Amino acid sequence: MSKSVPSWERLRELIVSQNANQLTPFIETLSPSETARAISRLDEKEQQILFSLLSPEDAADAIEDMPDAQAADLVEDMPSAQAAAILEELSSDHLVDVLGEMDEQASHAILAEMDKEDAKEARMLLEYDPNCAGGLMISEFLVYKTDQTINDVLNDLQINRDEYVDYHVQYFYVVDQADKLVGVLRMHDMLFPTRGARLEQIMLSSPLSVFHNASLMELDDFFEEHNLLGVPVVDDDGRLVGVVLPNAIEEAINKRKTKTFLRLSGIIGGEEFRTMPLLSRSGRRLSWLSMNIVLNIIAASVIALYQDTLAAVITLAVFLPMVSDMSGCSGNQAIAVSMRELSLGLVRPTELIWVLAKEIKIGIINGLVLGLLLGGVAFFWKGNPWLGMVIGGALAANTVVSVTLGGMLPLVLKKLKVDPALVSSPLLTTVTDMCGFFFVLSFAAAVLPKLGGM
């Protein structure tokens, strides 16, 4: 079976032999995810040769299969004219996604090489926040004037059949002479009336629409509420400027989730793929780690303050990382629940008291259970009940702190317009580390004579 040769090896052969004739048929045999994987395994030079051998249409098909960040990386390195020829083949929403991942200089250079109309449209779309209706809409939709007839529409459909194949939209929008949206028609509305009927006679008037600045959550609510295959987007004057499809909303939510997940794990500044250059990957990871090292130093300085206590009861050193780690875990659970509820709109950033009331109870219960567990371990290990109480008490107290803080941090950060995914976890860890060290060492200092030299 050909399974034994990875697809990128075969691809590489075809590239090295400059075999343009076999290249396209070969890529067509690959599934989209396999295409993305194969291309990503080529080195930069091979990728450039590959894309110079493919027609713009085939190159665009390949680009569509790749994650936006990877596609942008690839296109950025091409001559602008080649990049423009390929990107012109993408649908408007996809084009804007890829351009949005580039730095501005690169995207401007490509736009300058594109067809003027397409470039103008893309620039307009790029101006929108990618998570509002304007940033999510497509420009490929069917629009007719009020005084056109069903026959006009059918003729247009017949003539432009090939172009419309790529149009997702299932509705015909009707605008007046000033381009204001005044009606909508579904395909089956055309089946029954006479073919000479004017659209204004048969259209559904005052159709549902959203404003160009509607937020992702408003759009999500819209499609939850209305079982539609698309919603027209109008500007402040009511002019039809685009159409948002429900899939675009799900995709945008998906993207936001990915970003949140990556940021929470310390992958900041966009996506990372292992096919990206080593130094840029390493540098981006380091930028987050070096912030963390500073926070770590601050937290650990608490230990330095209590060095005498620690020297007197060296056993405490075993428990310091445990108390801080466990509290970090408890706090991160609370962060996750808050992030989830925020993203679903089940909690608002102002509802701190509600979250506090809900989390403090969990903090107390889980603090008691975990404190008893770890305190018990400490007690049985050294046979000293005071050690058990110090460790158990410290973990219990610190669990209450970390759970309530973890629950509230994302709300506070969101209210301060700081990205909770980026900041919640490092901040929580720092505070719970400090408090954990402080509780263990100060409780121990208070009962030092009882702890003896352990």
Tell me the one-letter amino acid at 346.
L
CA dihedral 117, 118, 121, 126 (to 10 degrees): -140
Residue 300 binds its own copies (CB under 8 A): yes
Residue 250 binds its own copies (CB under 8 A): yes
Assess contact for 298 and 430: CB atoms under 8 A. yes
| Binding test (CB under 8 A) with its own copies, winner from 188, 236, 417, 449 | 188
Residue 277 binds its own copies (CB under 8 A): no
Residue 2 binds its own copies (CB under 8 A): no
Distances (CA, A) of 424 to 5, 333, 349, 408: 45, 12, 14, 10
- Read off the tokens for 101: 């991942």
Phi/psi region, residue 345 (left: phi>0; alpha: psi -120 to 50; beta: rest), is left
Angstrom distance (rounded) from CA 291 to CA 180: 51
Residue 362 binds its own copies (CB under 8 A): yes
Angstrom distance (rounded) from CA 336 to CA 324: 18
Three-state DSSP at 142 gives strand
We find the least distance from the C-beta atom of residue 331 to its own copies, in angstroms, to be 10
We find the least distance from the C-beta atom of residue 162 to its own copies, in angstroms, to be 13
By CB under 8 A, the residues from 57 to 96 that bind its own copies are: 64-65, 67
Angstrom distance (rounded) from CA 179 to CA 165: 24
Residue 342 binds its own copies (CB under 8 A): no
Angstrom distance (rounded) from CA 107 to CA 96: 10
| Binding test (CB under 8 A) with its own copies, winner from 278, 353, 417, 449 | 278
Residue 48 binds its own copies (CB under 8 A): no
DSSP, res 189: G
- Return the number of the residue (205 or 282) whose C-beta is nearest its own copies: 282
- Return the number of the residue (134 or 367) whose C-beta is nearest its own copies: 367
By CB under 8 A, the residues from 157 to 186 that bind its own copies are: 157-158, 165-166, 168, 170
Binding segment toward its own copies, per CB under 8 A, in 174-182, 196-204, 234-242, 286-294: 286-294
| Binding test (CB under 8 A) with its own copies, winner from 33, 151, 155, 205 | 33
| Binding test (CB under 8 A) with its own copies, winner from 89, 281, 349, 352 | 281
Residue 121 binds its own copies (CB under 8 A): no
- Return the number of the residue (109 or 300) whose C-beta is nearest its own copies: 300
- Return the number of the residue (124 or 217) whose C-beta is nearest its own copies: 217
- Read off the tokens for 240: 């039809």
Bridge pairing between strands 171-175 and 181-186: antiparallel
E strand or H helix at 413, and its extent? helix 385-415
We find the least distance from the C-beta atom of residue 369 to its own copies, in angstroms, to be 6
Residue 4 binds its own copies (CB under 8 A): no
